[in-house]
Amino acid sequence: MASVTDQELKQMSQEERVTAFGMRTEQLTGRSLYIEFEEDEGSNFTYPWAPDVDFNKRVEIDADEFDTTGANNKIRELMEEGYGTIVIKNPRGKHSLGVGILSRLNLIIEGSTGYFGVGLIDGPNVRINGRVGWSCGENMMSGTVLIEKNAGSTFGAAIRGGDLVCRGSVGSRTGIDMKGGTIIVGGDTGALSGFMMQRGRMVVCGNAGKNLGDSMYDGTIYVGGEIQSLGVDAVPAELTQLDKDWLTRKLSQYDLMPETGVDHFTKVVAGKQLWNYDNLEPNEKKLIL
Amino acid sequence: MLRSLKHRGPDSTGFAVYGANTPGDYVMRFVLAEQEDMSKGFDMKKIVEERLELVEERLAEHGAEVKHRESATDYAKRFIIHHTGDTELMARHIEDIEGVEILSMGNSLELIKDLGDADVVSDQYGLGAFEGTHGIGHTRMATESDVDIRSAHPYWAFPYNDVSVVHNGQITNYWIMRRQLERQGHRFMSHCDSELLAVYTANNLANGVTLEDSMRRSIGEIDGVFTYLVATKDQLGMAKDTMAAKPLVLYQSDDLIVMASEEVAIRSILPQEIDTTDPYDEEVFVWQA
């Protein structure tokens, strides 16, 4: 700070000013990859009450025969019986299907779901052959969710962990308030995606709507197509080799790797000017803004 | 579709349906009192009969020939009239009768709305037998205005005979816009913010603005969060606000357009596998028959 004069600050770009104030030390890992557990802590990843399921035991549920609560209770009942692969047929847009599953399970939903599908999950691998409504995967903690078609708005709201993948396009405010994990969108995403993002990574292979990453605290957004506009405090950053390697690995994993590779992706991170917990005095903040 | 959206609010339900039309003939749907008024006082039935007589008188005064009369309830009537004069003047004169509101006076449009869920209203008004080309509907949970017929959707874009509107959201510059429109001579029948969209559309149409341009213009001129639909004799339009804060799921094929706030409504009539999408912020679609 002491080495930068007011005159120099005025001539700097927004991103340069932020860096000059020592407010951003961007790297691939960032906060998103802080190691929060040891590898040998595997036993902590299962809840003591989690049913012991066998993935080779497969069963089908016809959702037409249940309301949402009934279908979700049936899933739990079948897991207690040891079924590790459960197929839900005829979901017909029902809301909140498959929520709150806190252990390992292969859940296959053959059709489309409504709002809040597979939210609050911690561990299952979910595949949805249709479209999902608003807030799919909200607050998910771990596991994978793969959607074959499109998704509604607030996709992966407040997600904390795991991979949430949509092969099609998603609505607005994707990953709003996300606190970890990875969201991957094969197509486009709407306005205000990454709004108030705090951790984790979002990958959009297509275009992003206006105000991308608005008010994001941390985390990283990668966009393969065009960005209509960046939100407040969202800034572009250098796409490093580590980023490219990670993108290649992750997109290949879900068969979403673009033919053109990942070199063209734009990386967006938080400018961190909006942070209220830094050491800047109010007059210093004014200088930056 | 509306039956499957009952959970969104059972206060009132409305349908704007479009059927066959004969030049010069209008279907006039009107109410002589609110539903709850009918249980107020021993004289209410007589008062309603007197209002009906006045309606007949004024129709005759304007040279309208009543070709057919139906009563869905004591307070809700359906007349088929033949009229070649100024329908706006006639409508204003009829609505000058205390307690009388014309829900629609369509060459093709019939607007039915009342308190209760979709089954109740549909059965009460015999909608099962209606044959037509398209329609829009609404099921309402009253949040900012009364639970009565005049605050229920859809709204007729008075005096445009075949234009109707449904809305999901809140309009925050309602009073400013309402006063502007009232100063221009437009009538408001309720205190429901959604009515503004009908009046706003009517005002634009009166000024020679196309439906599509009116809907595009509304995104900049109307504040708040909204998704709304407009139907005319041969058009169907949708518009979404700048935040895309209110949901809409869309399915379109060569011969069918289906939209709803929730996937579950679409799946209730199209059980086969289909691809649906979420329109983005500021998107406007107008389909022409």
3-state secondary structure of A185: strand
The ranges of chain B annotated as CATH 3.30.70.60 are: 22-107
Which residues on A lie below 8 Å from B278 (Cβ)? 150-153, 170-172, 190
Residue A287: the pLDDT is 65
Residue A281: the pLDDT is 66
**Beta-carbon separation of B263 and A112 below 8 A:** yes
3-state secondary structure of A98: coil
Residue A1: the pLDDT is 44
Which residues on A lie below 8 Å from B276 (Cβ)? 112, 131, 149-150
**Model confidence, pTM:** 0.85
Interface test with A, best of B278, B282, B283 (most A CBs within 10 A): B278
- How many angstroms separate the CA atoms of B134 and A271, rounded? 50
Condensed to tens digits (0 to 9), the pLDDT of residues A122-134 reads 999 999 999 999 9
Residue B24: the pLDDT is 86
A186: contact with B, CB 8 A cutoff = no
Which residues on A lie below 8 Å from B241 (Cβ)? none
Residue B143: the pLDDT is 75
Residue of B nearest to A208 (CA): B280
**Beta-carbon separation of A191 and B281 below 8 A:** yes
Architecture of B1-14+136-289 per CATH?
4-Layer Sandwich (3.60)
Above 90 in pLDDT, residue A258? yes
Which residues on B lie below 8 Å from A90 (Cβ)? 271
For the packed helices B44-61 and B87-95, what is the interaxial angle rounded to 10 degrees? Answer: 150
Contact between residue A243 and residue A236 where contact means Cβ atoms under 8 Å apart: no
Residue A259: the pLDDT is 94
**Beta-carbon separation of B264 and A131 below 8 A:** no
**Beta-carbon separation of A190 and B280 below 8 A:** yes
Nearest-by-Cβ selection for B278 from A113, A171, A192: A171
**Beta-carbon separation of A190 and B244 below 8 A:** yes
Q: Is A126 exposed, middle or buried (0-12, 13-18, 19+ CB in 10 A)?
A: buried
Contact between residue B263 and residue B210 where contact means Cβ atoms under 8 Å apart: no
Share of chain A above pLDDT 70, in %: 83
A95: contact with B, CB 8 A cutoff = yes
- Alpha carbons within 13 angstroms on the beta-carbon side of residue B251 total 22
Residue B33: the pLDDT is 92
Nearest-by-Cβ selection for A133 from B243, B245, B262: B262
Interface test with B, best of A66, A69, A134, A167 (most B CBs within 10 A): A134
Residue A282: the pLDDT is 65
Q: What is the mean pLDDT of residues A150-178?
A: 96
- How many angstroms separate the CA atoms of B253 and A93, rounded? 19
DSSP state of A212: B
pLDDT band, residue A204 (cuts 50/70/90) = very high
B113: closest CA of chain A, how far (Å): 26
Residue B272: the pLDDT is 86
Q: What is the mean pLDDT of residues A201-212?
A: 97
3-state secondary structure of A211: coil
B205 vs A24 pLDDT, higher one: B205
ipTM: 0.83
Instruction: List all residues 6 or more positions away from B180 whose beta carbon is below 8 Å from its beta carbon.
Output: none
Q: What is the mean pLDDT of residues A132-146?
A: 95
Q: What is the mean pLDDT of residues A191-212?
A: 96
Chain centroid to Cα A236, Å, comes to: 19
Question: Could you say which residues of chain B have pLDDT below 50?
Answer: none
- How many angstroms separate the CA atoms of B74 and B31, rounded? 9
Above 80 in pLDDT, residue A33? no
Instruction: List all residues 6 or more positions away from B187 whose beta carbon is below 8 Å from its beta carbon.
Output: B92, B95, B158, B199
Residue A3: the pLDDT is 65
B279: closest CA of chain A, how far (Å): 7
B6: closest CA of chain A, how far (Å): 13
A133: closest CA of chain B, how far (Å): 7
Residue A283: the pLDDT is 67
Contact between residue B185 and residue B203 where contact means Cβ atoms under 8 Å apart: no
- How many angstroms separate the CA atoms of A283 and B287, rounded? 54
Which residues on A lie below 8 Å from B247 (Cβ)? 133-134, 152-153
What does pLDDT average to over chain A? 88
**Beta-carbon separation of A150 and B275 below 8 A:** yes
A89: contact with B, CB 8 A cutoff = no
CA angle B283, B285, B289 (to 5 degrees): 180
Which residues on B lie below 8 Å from A192 (Cβ)? 243
B159: closest CA of chain A, how far (Å): 36
Architecture of B22-107 per CATH?
2-Layer Sandwich (3.30)
3-state secondary structure of A53: coil
**Beta-carbon separation of B263 and A191 below 8 A:** no
Condensed to tens digits (0 to 9), the pLDDT of residues A67-86 reads 999 999 999 999 999 999 99
pLDDT band, residue A36 (cuts 50/70/90) = very low
Phi–psi pair at B222, nearest 5 degrees: -105, 125
pLDDT band, residue A186 (cuts 50/70/90) = very high
Neighbours of A226 (CB within 10 A): 10
| Helix (H) or strand (E) run with residue A247 in it | helix A241-253
**Beta-carbon separation of A190 and B281 below 8 A:** yes
Nearest-by-Cβ selection for B275 from A115, A149, A152: A149
Tell me, letter by letter, the H, E, C secondary structure of chain B. CCHHHHHHCCCEEEEEEECCCCCCEEEEEEECCCHHHHHCCCCHHHHHHHHHHHHHHHHHHCCCEEEEEEECCCCEEEEEEECCCCHHHHHHHHHCCCCCEEEEEECCEEEEEEECCHHHHHHHCCHHHCCCCEEEEEEECCCCCCCCHHHCCCEECCCCCCCEEEEEEEECCHHHHHHHHHHCCCCCCCCCCHHHHHHHHHHHHHCCCCHHHHHHHHHHHCCEEEEEEEECCCEEEEEECCCCCCCCEEEECCCCEEEECCHHHHHHHCCCCCCCECCCCCCEEEEEC
- How many angstroms separate the CA atoms of B263 and A115, rounded? 8
Residue B289: the pLDDT is 86
User: Domain ranges in chain A?
Assistant: 150-289
**Beta-carbon separation of B267 and A131 below 8 A:** no
